[in-house]
Chain A
Amino acid sequence: MSELILILATGLGLGALYFLAASGLSLIYGLMGVLNFAHSAFMMLGAYAGWETMQRLPDGMSVGVRLVLAVVVALVVGALIGAVVEVCLIRPLYKHHIQQVLVTVGLSLAAVAVAQAVWSADPKPVQKPTWMASTTDIGGAHLPNDRLLFVVVALLVFAGLMALLRYTRLGLIIRAGVENRTMVEALGINVQGTFTIVFAMGGAAAALAGVLYSQYAGSVSPAQGGSLLIYAFIVVVIGGMGSLPGTAVAAVAVGLVQQMANYYAASGVGDLSVVLLLAVVLLVRPASMKGGHA
Chain B
Amino acid sequence: MRATSLIKALPGLVVLVALVVLPYVTVTIPGILPGRVNGPGSLTLLATCFIFAGFALSYDVIFGRTGLLSFGHALFVAAGSYLLTISLSSWDLPLPLAIVVALTSTLVLALVVGGIALRVGGIAFAMVTLAFAQAASIIVLRNPGDLTGGEEGLVLDRSAIPQLLVGVHNAPYRYWLALGFVVIAWALVALLVRSRAGHAMAAVRENEARAAVLGYDVYKVKLLAIVVGALIGGLGGIVHAIVLGGSTPHLTTTEFTLALLVMVVLGGAGRLWGAVIGGFVYHYLDSRLVEFSSSSALGAMPDIVQRLLGQPLLILGVLFIIVVYFAPQGLTGLGARLLRKERA
- Please measure, in the bound complex, the distance between the C-alpha atom of A233 and the C-alpha atom of B71, giving whole angstroms: 12
Indicate if the CB atoms of B127 and A278 lie closer than 8 Å: yes
Most-contacted residue by chain B among A93, A117, A271 (CB, 10 A): A117
Chain A positions 225-257 with a Cβ under 8 Å from a chain B Cβ: 226, 230, 233-234, 237, 241
CB distance from B294 to the nearest CB of A (A): 13
- B308 lies within 8 A of A99 (CB): no
A102 touches B324 (CB 8 A): yes
Chain A residues within 8 Å of B122, by CB:
289
DSSP class of A's interface residues: helix, strand, loop or mixed?
helix
Is the beta-carbon distance between A92 and B124 smaller than 8 angstroms? Answer: no
Asked whether A283 lies within 8 Å of B119 as measured between CB atoms, the reply is: yes
Distance A29 CA – B307 CA, assembled complex (angstroms): 35
Q: Is A184 an interface residue (CB 8 A)?
A: no
Chain A window 205-239, contacts with chain B (Cβ cutoff 8 Å), 1 for yes, 0 for no: 00000000000000000000010001001100100
A82-104 contacts to B, CB under 8 A, are 89, 92-93, 98-99, 101-103
Residues of B within 8 A of A191 (CB): none
Count contacts on B: residues with CB < 8 A to the other chain: 41
Q: How distant is the Cα of A25 from the Cα of B321 in the complex, in angstroms? A: 21
Q: Which residues from chain A sit less than 8 Å from chain B, CB to CB?
A: 29, 35, 37, 89, 92-93, 98-99, 101-103, 105-114, 116-118, 226, 230, 233-234, 237, 241, 268, 271-272, 275-276, 278-279, 282-283, 286, 289
**Does B300 interact with chain A (Cβ within 8 Å)?**
no
In this assembly, does B132 line the interface, its C-beta being within 8 Å of a C-beta of chain A? yes
Pick out which of these stretches binds chain A: B84-92, B135-143, B185-193. Answer: B135-143
CB distance B131 to A278 under 8 Å? yes
B141 contacts across to A, CB distance below 8 A? 268
Roughly how many angstroms separate A99 CA and B328 CA in the complex, as a whole number?
A: 9
| A-chain residues with CB within 8 Å of residue B124 when the two chains form the complex | 237, 282, 286, 289
27 contacts between A and B (CB under 8 A): A92-B325, A93-B324, A101-B69, A103-B324, A103-B325, A106-B318, A106-B324, A107-B317, A109-B314, A109-B317, A113-B308, A113-B312, A114-B308, A116-B311, A117-B311, A117-B314, A233-B127, A275-B132, A275-B135, A276-B135, A278-B131, A279-B116, A282-B128, A283-B116, A283-B119, A283-B128, A286-B124
Q: Which residues of A contact B127 (CB under 8 A)?
A: 233-234, 237, 278, 282
Residues of chain B with a CB closer than 8 A to A93's CB: 324-325
Q: Is the CB of B254 within 8 A of A230?
A: yes
B139–chain A nearest beta-carbon distance, Å: 7
- Distance, CA A113 to CA B321, complexed state (A): 14
Q: Within 8 Å CB of A109, what residues of B?
A: 258, 262, 313-314, 316-317, 320
Q: How far is the CA of A103 from the CA of B318 in the complex (A)?
A: 9
Q: Are B120 and A106 in contact (CB under 8 A)?
A: no
Is B318 in contact with A110, judged by CB distance below 8 angstroms?
Answer: yes
Chain B residues closer than 8 Å to A101, beta-carbon distance: 69
